[in-house]
Chain A
Amino acid sequence: MTARAWTIIGCFAVLALLFMLPEVLRPYYLALVTKMLIFALFAMSLDLLLGYTGLASLGHAAYFGVAAYTIALLIVRAGVDSGLAFPVALVAAAATGALFAPLALRARGSYFLMITFALAQVVWSVAFGWRSLTNGDDGIPDVVRPDFGWSLDSTTSFYYFVLAIVGLATLLLVAIVGSPFGRALRGIRESESRMQALGYNVWRYQYVAFVLAAAFAGIAGALYAYYNRFVGPEYLYVVQSAEALIMVILGGAGTLIGPAIGAGLIVFLEDFVSSMTAHWVLVLGIIYVLVTLFAPRGLIGLVDQLRQRRVKP
């Protein structure tokens, strides 16, 4: 059987498993898997920039958080229907990306890192400081979940809702990554100057990738606002950006499955560690150091290495 066939079979198996989960898991763990799905999408959106286009963003939480705050503000402050707020949140995230991208794309390498980091912190400081609108540190509670004729209040129904949205978004990402556009992004990651010499307007591709990454992060952020029924400045904080970044790198940048696996692992670890100590941030820092030292290409990279070692006797 070809590798392609195995991939398809694997996808169906995972999908079937995900469908069955509510039958076997206790609500607490089903909620945890829901969170994993949301962060898988968040990580994949970042990978579109980091792994495919070669642009490492240290501030991806900005778009995640802007979407979440848009949802919360529209529902709680403006009384907009929860389901209607969703597309608006998506647009808000994409628009933030469209606004920040020209600034960040003025530069490469370390400057790009600094600028994305700084821009995200600016957004965080607004959410933190503008108390009259955002309640600052206290955040915004009572973010109701959408109701499309059936309630999403139960863990199971919300799980299926998230599964559907994340599934659709993933399909879209797979299509984008496999399109000529996706190939061009990989070309830009490998050599910007060569792509320019071939006639590509490199900036425009990077810009579109940036906005797309922001939009997909926005979907994840909106879902997370529904998930917690609450939004706070920590959605925008550097820790959130750092978690997304390590999910991508731990799993393996430049693939979609890698960041998804990375997201599952980090969410699980955070839950596990937080149940025992208050020092998740310390563990996160240690994971950073360990991954950089021992698995710079992520778990996918480790698997590749093992496979190559087996081929070479």
Chain B
Amino acid sequence: MTWVIHILNGIAFGMLLFLLAAGLSLIYGLMKILNLTHGSFYLVGGYIGLTVMQRTGSFVLALVVAVAAVALVGAAIERFFLRRFHLDELPQTLLTFGFLFIFADLSLWIWGGNPLMLNMPEIFQHSMPMGYYAYPVYRLFLIAIGLVVAGGLWWFQEHTRIGTMLRAGVDDAEIARALGINVSLLFTLIFAVGAGLAALAGVLAGPVLSLYPGADFEVLIFAFVVVIVGGLGSLRGALAGALLIGILDDFGKAFFPEFALFTVFVPMAVILVIRPTGLFGRR
């Protein structure tokens, strides 16, 4: 029965990873930007949610404010900085690297160096009986949110015009313009959506993983491993990779606590050797 618990925990963590990896993948798929600031969006989102929660006591408000604020910050970064280097990989990566450090230090300044736990909303503060164990409802809620977001993104990709372009992996802005789509706005929008998803993950993670300096780099690595395994630019890949890595990490932490990252590193290495474009990547 313990392994069911581990798998459920893994899926719950995997859903958080999916929220991160989906944004990373979406942004890369459309703009070919490897966004290292994604880790900051997660952590800063979590911290903002925490502050709102402390002030107002409302989890929903915490979610909304954090996602909106971080999406706005993301839009600004895209608009005023990344835009200047369209399709120029290295300077874009360097900019997002710079912002990663700027946000890391600013949030250390504002929220301090100790791990902070977001209070869990009351309705989730109980557990569901499961055989001899009791399983926390909050983690089931995480899984549900992940599924809803995955479904929403899937619908967006399959049934909207913007989605069609995303699927085609638009790197030809001319075609997009011919389709009557405001590319400039689309880029900003998608970047904001990706940032918002990362912030959502940050707030949702707050009550279970806690927030601390360095978490930004940690989740960024996990998100990288997920997209390397799943394939950069693919939504399906992000979901499959996130679940796989989430579950592996949970087992790894349980059985080899000293080599936590190692258990996700091994599958990454294996995938790189046998299928360098990832499970669902195309190139």
Contact = CB atoms under 8 A, between A and B. Distances in A.
A–B touch (CB < 8 A): the answer is: yes
Contacts of B224: 114-115, 117-118
B101 A281 contact: yes
B32 A110 contact: yes
Contacts of B265: 118-119, 122
Interface residues of A, number: 41
A45 to B, nearest CB: 19
Contact of A125 (B84, B85, B104, B261): B261
B94 A249 contact: yes
B259 to A, nearest CB: 6
A107 interface: yes
B32 to A, nearest CB: 7
Interface in B57-114: 81, 84-85, 89-91, 93-95, 97-106, 108-109
A139 interface: no
B94 A285 contact: no
Contacts of A242: 97, 101
A58 B217 CA distance: 13
Given A125-B260, A282-B102, A106 B272 contact: yes
B268 A118 contact: yes
A281 B259 CA distance: 27
Nearest to B105: A282
B258 interface: yes
Given A279-B109, A284-B101, A289-B102, A131 B225 contact: no
Nearest to A107: B276
Contacts, number: 117
A129 B101 contact: no
Interface residues of B, number: 44
B109 to A, nearest CB: 7
A11 interface: no
Contact of B262 (A125, A282, A296): A125
Contacts of B268: 118
A190 to B, nearest CB: 15
Interface in A250-292: 279, 281-282, 284-289, 291-292
B212 to A, nearest CB: 13
B101 A239 contact: yes
Contact of A121 (B84, B89, B217, B257): B217
B1 interface: no
Contacts of B28: 110
Interface string A102-133: 11001101110111011101100110011110
Nearest to A132: B258
A292 B261 contact: no
Given A103-B269, A117-B221, A121-B221, A289 B99 contact: yes
Nearest to B88: A296
Contact of A114 (B32, B100, B227): B227
Contact of A115 (B91, B228, B258): B228
A296 B227 CA distance: 28
A101 to B, nearest CB: 12
A130 B258 contact: yes
B232 A110 contact: yes
A113 B101 contact: no
Nearest to A118: B224
Given A114-B34, A129-B259, A285 B100 contact: yes
A238 interface: yes
A56 interface: yes
B105 A238 contact: no
Interface string B32-45: 10101000000000
Contacts of A239: 101
Contacts of B4: none
B273 interface: yes
Contacts of B34: 110, 113-114
Contacts of A281: 101, 104-105, 108
B168 to A, nearest CB: 19
A96 B143 CA distance: 38
Nearest to B85: A292
A292 B95 contact: yes
B98 A287 contact: yes
A102 B91 CA distance: 25
Interface of B: 28, 32, 34, 36, 81, 84-85, 89-91, 93-95, 97-106, 108-109, 217, 221, 224-225, 227-228, 232, 257-262, 265, 268-269, 272-273, 276
6 contacts: A103-B269, A106-B272, A114-B227, A117-B36, A242-B97, A245-B94
